[in-house]
Amino acid sequence: MVLKPAALPITLNKLPREFYLRPTLNVARDLLGMYLVRIVRGKPVAGMIVETEGYIGETDPASHSYRGKTLRNEVMFRNGGFLYVYFTYGMHFCCNVVTEEEGKGRAVLIRALQPVAGIEVMQNNRRQLLEPKPQQTLTNGPAKLCEALDIKRAQNGTDLLGNDIFIVWGGPIPRRSIVQTTRIGIKVAAEKEWRYYIKGNAFVSKTIKPE
């Protein structure tokens, strides 16, 4: 697996607010190929987004925002471009990009990254300092990538137009290289094809359905 060079066009190509203020599934699809960047002690820890899922607010039984705004999901109801981080299974964090206008409660779950920069930091955070497949399992799942990028409770509500966590232009991925299929790990609305990933990418999380 060949990785992209560590040099990143940090602030110049940061996605604008307008990118996030669009229909959630368009944002989910268009995030593929973009770079999620976390600045840790002045240095970028980053990966290319290779898998996403849309959660469509109060019309989506699988969404945390299905039953309206609460203390936990308050960030989901902000306008697009904020980071919604939630804690689950008593030990894991997962992160979402809030979409559309304020009050919608919609977001895109980032399910997998391909490591690009700060890989040693990721390995430290993931406690994966040894081989054999060092980078393969570093960020190929929503909780894994949060651990690798040190995204936790304190990062909930981060504005992606700030300088701590943001997303920069890296696309677009050709439409023929994008797979749209059903979401993973949910028991309701399981038939909705609101998951997107880059076809053939080795960092996509464990998949059940064929391409």
Partner DNA sequence: CGACCGATTGACT
Partner DNA sequence: GTCAATCGGTCGG
Residue in this structure with the two tokens 């989506």, named with its chain if needed: 60
Which range in 33-41, 135-143, 163-171, 195-203 contacts DNA by CB under 7 A? Answer: 135-143
Instruction: State which residue, 8 or 160, has the beta carbon closest to DNA.
Output: 160
Binding residue for DNA (CB under 7 A) from 53, 149, 160, 168?
53
Residue 51 forms beta bridges with which residues? 112, 197
- Residue of 56, 41, 32, 30 lying closest to 193 (CA atoms): 56
State in angstroms the smallest separation of the CB of 77 from DNA: 11
Is residue 204 close enough to count as binding DNA by CB under 7 A?
no
Total interface residues for DNA by CB under 7 A: 37
Binding mask 70-99 for DNA (x = CB under 7 A): xxxx--x-------x-xxxxxxx-x-x---
* Residues from 168 through 187 that contact DNA (CB under 7 A): 183-187
Where are the alpha helices (H) located in 51-191, listed in sequence order? 119-126, 142-148
Instruction: State which residue, 120 or 163, has the beta carbon closest to DNA.
Output: 120
CA dihedral 117→18→87→38, nearest 10 degrees, is 20
- Residue of 35, 42, 44, 39 lying closest to 15 (CA atoms): 35
Instruction: State which residue, 40 or 186, has the beta carbon closest to DNA.
Output: 186
As given in the structure block, the two tokens for residue 51 are 């898998």
How far is Cα 43 from Cα 161, in angstroms, rounded to an integer?
17
**What are the DSSP calls for 151-164, one per residue?**
--GGGTT-BTTSSS
Is residue 205 close enough to count as binding DNA by CB under 7 A?
yes
Instruction: State which residue, 8 or 151, has the beta carbon closest to DNA.
Output: 151
Binding mask 151-170 for DNA (x = CB under 7 A): --------------------
- What are the Cα distances from residue 125, in Å, to 76, 84, 89, 122? 26, 20, 19, 5
Is residue 125 close enough to count as binding DNA by CB under 7 A?
no
The residues that touch DNA, with contacts defined as CB under 7 A, are 53, 55, 62-65, 67, 70-73, 76, 84, 86-92, 94, 96, 107, 109, 126, 137, 141-144, 183-187, 205-206
